Amino acid sequence: MGVLNVTPDSFSDGGRFVETDVAIQHALDLVEQGADLIDVGGESTRPGAVRVGADEEQARAIPVIRGLAERGIEVSIDTMNAETALAAAEAGASMINDVSGGLADPGMVGVVIRTGLTYIVQHWRGQSETMDAQATYTHAAREVRRELFGRVAELAELGVEPGRLIIDPGLGFAKNAEHNWQVLAHLPEFRELGLPVLIGASRKRFLGALLPEGAPVTDRDAPTAVISALAAQVGVWGVRVHDVSSTRLALDVVEAWQAGRDD
């Protein structure tokens, strides 16, 4: 999954893709580099980010989604807003990627049911402004998994077919570096429900901590690609990344490695 943030305040690509044509071209480049799916987001969710209105979010994201869908590219909409998800579905998106798992907007579940789209449910404890304060766990991996599986059960009760769900532990969302590493080390346990698992480690702060202070954010692409390979080894369905080339290559290595097995 290639990330296309059409936000002026995104931490990792600095808002370079705000204009529709430039955004579409960047998405086409990501597909050329090996992305199977483009995740379009019109609102930043980085820690401390201020929420934008649904109108502004749609003005940024919808023309891009329409342009990509017209070109036959599979698109997910990264949004917590039900209205934006609905507009994206009408513009041709095939998945709704909701970092709040439907907790931020009470209208989201209805849109998921009505549109019949695949729904990416992420573990979430609250909005960006407050999520760092909610990063308290006794065993992060176990608690995140329990809360995420609990959310899947709630969604099923509300009428969302579990077969349409993809789950994501939400690295960096109410999680510090130690929590993220613990979740990654326990990734196989997130597969216990039999649902596809997605992870988004790309360029996140906890990877910056492995690099010299002040290193550019693009230096986080190498550790991101390593995580992509390790995640693929344990059967993760997808990885959400900014730099598709390096992750594609890492995944090709995993595939070649696995093909070499003779058992």
Query: Catalytic site residue 205?
Result: no
Q: Residues binding ligand PMM: what is the number (CB under 6 A)?
A: 20
Q: Which of 92, 102, 170, 208 binds ligand PMM (CB under 6 A)?
A: 170
Radius of gyration of the chain from its Cα atoms, rounded to whole angstroms: 17
Residue in 93, 99, 135, 197 binding ligand PMM, rule: CB under 6 A: 99
- Tell me if residue 175 is catalytic: no
Among 64, 171, 197, 229, binds ligand PMM (CB under 6 A): 171
214: how many CB neighbours lie within 10 A of its CB? 7
Task: Tell me which stretch binds ligand PMM (CB under 6 A): 104-112, 145-153, 164-172, 253-261.
Answer: 164-172
From the number of C-beta atoms within 10 Å of its C-beta (0-12, 13-18, 19+), residue 112 rates as: buried
Contact between 78 and ligand PMM (CB under 6 A)? Answer: yes
Q: Is-contact 66 91, C-beta < 8 A?
A: yes
Instruction: Spell out the SS3 assignment of 44-109.
Output: CCCCCCCCCCHHHHHHHHHHHHHHHHHCCCCEEEECCCHHHHHHHHHHCCCEEEECCCCCCCCCHH
Give residues 100-139 in contact with ligand PMM (rule: CB under 6 A). 120, 122
Please give the positions annotated as active site: 204, 240
Contact footprint for ligand PMM (CB under 6 A)? 3, 5, 10, 12, 41, 44-46, 78, 97, 99, 120, 122, 168, 170-171, 198, 200, 203, 240
